Structure 1
């Protein structure tokens, strides 16, 4: 959510920020609704003062034995007028909120300009693109040949965009998730949390998934939402809370299934398990102060990068441009991994600083060590990393000519010492 005071102070800057995302300026409409809302509130306050004065007069009249019919009738008219203006204020407030809640976050000034992913900027690359003495296969070709990746059974059970993993591949998926959790909790200072996979409207709204992205989510018959990522429940820790500054940053991690409808992705990545309705991910969330959030963003991204480095994958950090930065983010780094079977870079982690955008929506604040009043928190989220895509990258990177897959050394203790999957 945006700070209405900041829009009042510099409407032109707000519209310029929207323009960077290709969104038409809305400051004039926002300020018009804001003025109407404030005017109605002022009318209510003025009428309430008059009503209070009349109430005193009625008391005085009664003590003196004087008739009160006229002033009581006037008080009734005031009451009705107050109710009408209160209704107006609520209507204007609802209209203002409805407009603000669908507008994306203000971008960091350093975010590169650009309309789409073609304008993203590669900041650095780790490792060389691997060379093979044979034509590398894609993950689904490897998995099906090994008899350990079954799309037909998944489709029979649940439909398209699901996968059944068996045997050593199922174990590797589990090993990846558990190893990542251990790395982030034991070496990166995150606290593991086991969280609900269903959330209410308030948390989905607070983490900017509602109302704009309702079609991307799965909803239950009782009105709750399956989480698209553990970012939602983990960031929800801040909802309606006031933290002491000394208790920040709060760094949380969770390994959960994630559920996405993939609305609008028809025809994209239909083969294999790159784009699924259900997938596992290790999520990183930081809740911190405004002064610390920029450094926290860098720190979080480095934690995700270490996962890829330890696995022996080739990856790069990409600074997303204005047109490719997500709705709730002020700035985002994507980590892309090289997939030899596809011969392409694919996103495996996205680390974003939302600043106070989510905190305003969920009223998450902190009490500074010095100074009066409470301030809004800054929230950050990142994949640490997507387990399914890590599995794909490992399979394609460490495939052998005979179709077997070498297990990365860091995973072997989590797989009972297994060094190779397959022949």
Structure 2
């Protein structure tokens, strides 16, 4: 959530930033400015009425002391009228405040000044590429869907019978590869990079979803569980991990906080009809290892670079060709101020696919969650900065391994780093 004080003091700056984001947010911003003006005017009016009420109260006392009953009755009538007027104005002010906060929740974060302007993916910039391990095939490489089905480790037909489209069923060495990838990624992030491993709930409240920005804007993309108190299946572990600190006032020495978790993720994929309907790229349920940081404001951009390196390490150790994109203002997520995407090479497509998105959300989520810290020197209270990223999406890593390590005989070589987990160096019939 944006700071209303920033909108009040620099409305033109905020308007320019909103114009750079994907989506038409200017009408909402104009409405916020208008309601905020009415809200502040109403507060001023309440203060004026309270002041008048206090003056009338003094007149009542004077009239009582002097024995002027008529003046006392008149003053008491005026005091009651002032009390009712204040009550009515307070109700109006509360309504305006609720409307203002609801609208503020619908505005995205401001892009960092280092983020390039652009309207969409075509304006993203490739800032790094490592394709030194890209293989030259002596045969036409198959897509991961075909490789997995031929090996009998992916069964999309069974998954469709069980759950409908956009689900996957892994079996045998496929299930073991998924488990191996999960353990390998967590061992790197928790064991080598110093993240604390968490196993969070997969169902969360609406308040939790609001804290990280999924609600109210993206409700149609979420799976909602009908109950007396509605619950939502998490679309990413970012949601429970970041919200662990909702409402907390932390010590400066507590920062940074570094968390990791592997969870199932659930997404409706609304608006993606007809896209990536085959395979593991865009499923309603998938596993992902998530990375989350809470940091001091002045350290968050350095933390973003470190998180990016932590995610890249997985691709480097698995020897998968990849590249890094700096996203433009029009392609960043709702809560993000700056985002990098990691994309892995898929030989069957002769192109790259996103496998991780790493974002600095600055104080945007922290304001929604009211997550703050107190400076050791001076005791000043500030909002923390939150960051999140995939380290990595397990299903897409699985798919990338099938494609990049496939052999002409239909087998798949197991990356060296995974062999101790798999107990094998090859997946074959």
Q: Same fold (TM over 0.5)?
A: yes
Task: Give yes or no for contact 2:242–2:386 (8 Å, CA) kept in 1.
Answer: yes
Matching residue within 253, 273, 281 for 1:274: 281
Change (3 A) 1:297 1:30: same
- Measure, in 2, the Cα distance between the counterparts of 1:211 and 1:187: 37
3-state SS of paired residue (1:196): coil
Which 10-residue stretch deviates more, 233-242 or 254-263? 233-242
Partner of 2:365: 358
1:60 is displaced (CA, Å) by 6.2
Task: Give yes or no for contact 1:238–1:287 (8 Å, CA) kept in 2.
Answer: no
Which 10-residue stretch deviates more, 112-121 or 349-358? 112-121
- Measure, in 1, the Cα distance between the counterparts of 2:394 and 2:62: 75
Matched, 1:125 2:126: no
3-state SS of paired residue (1:333): strand
Task: Give yes or no for contact 1:16–1:25 (8 Å, CA) kept in 2.
Answer: no
Stretches of structure 1 lacking an aligned partner (at least 5 in a row) = none
Task: Give yes or no for contact 2:25–2:107 (8 Å, CA) kept in 1.
Answer: no
Task: Give yes or no for contact 1:244–1:366 (8 Å, CA) kept in 2.
Answer: yes
Change (3 A) 1:198 1:63: farther
Matched, 1:116 2:120: yes
1:195 is displaced (CA, Å) by 0.7
1:235 is displaced (CA, Å) by 0.7
Deviations 1:70-99 (A, max 9, x none): 333222212221121112212222222232
5 Å matches for 1:22-421? 22=22, 23=24, 25=26, 27-55=29-57, 57-58=59-60, 67=69, 68-128=72-132, 129-222=134-227, 223-415=230-422, 417-421=423-427
Partner of 1:7: 7
- Measure, in 1, the Cα distance between the counterparts of 2:184 and 2:55: 70
Taking structure 2 as the reference length, the TM-score comes to 0.94
1:191 is displaced (CA, Å) by 0.3
Deviations 1:158-177 (A, max 9, x none): 11110110001101101101
3-state SS of paired residue (2:225): coil
1:49 is displaced (CA, Å) by 3.3
1:65 is displaced (CA, Å) by 6.5
Task: Give yes or no for contact 1:37–1:93 (8 Å, CA) kept in 2.
Answer: yes
3-state SS of paired residue (2:183): helix
1:325 is displaced (CA, Å) by 1.0
- Measure, in 2, the Cα distance between the counterparts of 1:28 and 1:339: 44
Deviations 1:351-384 (A, max 9, x none): 0001011111111111112234311110000000
Deviations 1:314-371 (A, max 9, x none): 0111101111111111110000000112322000000000101111111111111223
Taking structure 1 as the reference length, the TM-score comes to 0.96
